[in-house]
Amino acid sequence: MTQKKGSKNYLKQKISATVFLAWILFGFFSGSALGYLIFQNSDDDVIKLSMVYSSEKSTWISETAILFQEFWEEKRVQDSSLKKISLDFQPYGSGDSLIALLNGETKPTIWSPASNIWIPLLNAKWSQYKLTDELIVPNFTRLIYSPVVIATWEDFYAEHPFNGLNDLHDLISENPGLVNMAHTDPRSSNSGFMATIMMVSSFLNMDPELMSVENLTQEPLQSWMSELEEAAIFYGKSTGFLGKYMRDQGPDALQIAILYENLVQDYGQAAEERYGQKIIAVYPEEGALFSDHPFCILNTEWVSEDQRMVAEEYLKFIGQKEIITKAISTGFRPINTEFLNDATVHEVYSQSFNADHGVTADPSIILELQPPADGTVIGRIPDLWLLTRNSV
C-alpha cells in the first residue's frame, strides 16, 4: 500500500509538473508574441533619440537627459500630436566612436566627440568608405568648451616659468632630467591628439587650419618634437587618469601634463590639500585648441525625420542659458560669452573660474587655434607622433 500510494503521489507530481511546465511554455510563447505585437506597435508611437558623446561631459549630459525628457512631456501636454521619446545617450571615446560609426557598430542620431578636429576626419573617411561626396557631418553646434592647457605645479612654475610649448621645449632641452612630462596617446585619446597638433603649430608658428602634409614631413619639426617628447614618462589612454595621476603622485613624479582645463579645476585643490601647492593651468602663448564638444546631427539613412526633429529640439534645449549654466558649474566655458552678462550666470562662472582653482577668469587671454581643415593632415598626426615619441 505504501508503495502504491507513493507511486500515485509520484504520478500526480509528474502530471502537475508537466501541466505547470506546459502553462509556462504557453505563457512564454503567447506572452512573447503578445509582447512583440505590443512593442512592435509602440515603436511607431515612440521616437528614439540616441547619442554617443565624449565622456568628459557625462555629468552634464546625464542631467540634461532627465531635464529634456521632462521638458518633452510638458510639450506633449500642450500638443497631443507629439509622440513620446526614448533617450539612449552613451559615453564613448572620440576615436573609438569614429571607428564605430564607420564600421556600423553604432548608429546614433547625434554624435558629439570631444573636439571638432574629428569632424573632417570622419567626413573624409565616410566619403572614402561609402564612395559618396555627401558629408555625414555637414554642420555642427558648439555650446561649451575647455581649452587644452599645460598643467604644472605652482612651485615648479615659480622656479621655472614658461609661457608656451616653445618655452617648454627649451626648458627640457637645456635641463636634461629636470622635467617629467605626460600626455595621452593621440591614437586613442582626444587630448593627446590635440596636444600633438599644438606642438606642430607651435614649432611652425602656423595656425593648424593652414597645415599641409608637407609641413609634417619636415626633419627640423620631427627633431624638435623628439626633443620635447624626450621628457615624456608615459602616454596614457585616458585624460582623466592623467589628471588623477598628477594629483595622486605629486610634484616629484610629474611636473608637466597636457590636458583639459576642466581637469585642473577638478584636481587642483585636492592636490593642494595633499602637497601644499596647487596644480595650475598655463595657457600656451602660441594658442590652444578647444575641446569644444560639437553636437552633430548625422546626415545618414538611419536618421529619420522624426529623430532629426527631436535632435534639433534637444540642441535648442541644451543651448538655453539655464542649461549652459549647469555645464559651467562642472568646469566648461560657454561658447556664447553673452551669457556671462547675466548676474546669476556670472556668479556661477566666478565660482568655477578663478585663481583658487588654478585657472584664469579671463577667457580673452586664451587664443583659440583652428583645427586642420584637411582630413588627410589630421590622419597623419598619429604617424608623426609615432616617429617622435619617447620609447617609454
The tens digit of pLDDT for each residue in 20-52 reads: 334 333 343 334 333 333 333 356 789 999 999
- Round to whole Å and give the CA distance between 114 and 23: 53
Measured in whole angstroms, the distance separating CA 129 from the mean position of its chain's CA atoms is: 24
Instruction: Report the pLDDT value the prediction gives residue 43, as an integer from 0 to 100.
Output: 65
Average pLDDT, the chain: 89
Burial 186-218 (b: 16+ CB within 10 A, else e): bbbbbbbbbbbbbbbbbbbeebbeebeeebbee
> pTM of the entire structure?
0.84
Query: Which residues, 6 or more positions from 247, have their beta carbon under 8 angstroms from its beta carbon?
Result: 267, 270, 271, 274, 279
Closest CA to 354 of 257, 268, 250: 268
Instruction: Report the pLDDT value the prediction gives residue 3, as an integer from 0 to 100.
Output: 40
What are the tens digits of pLDDT across the range 85-100?
999 999 988 888 999 9
- Lowest mean per-residue pLDDT among 218-232, 319-333, 373-387: 373-387
What are the tens digits of pLDDT across the range 58-71?
999 999 999 999 99
Q: pLDDT confidence of 306, banded at 50, 70, 90? A: very high
Answer whether 112's CB lies under 8 Å from 51's CB.
yes
Q: pLDDT confidence of 115, banded at 50, 70, 90? A: very high
What are the tens digits of pLDDT across the range 179-211?
999 999 998 889 999 999 999 999 999 999 999
Instruction: Report the pLDDT value the prediction gives residue 42, as an integer from 0 to 100.
Output: 52
Answer whether 350's CB lies under 8 Å from 361's CB.
yes
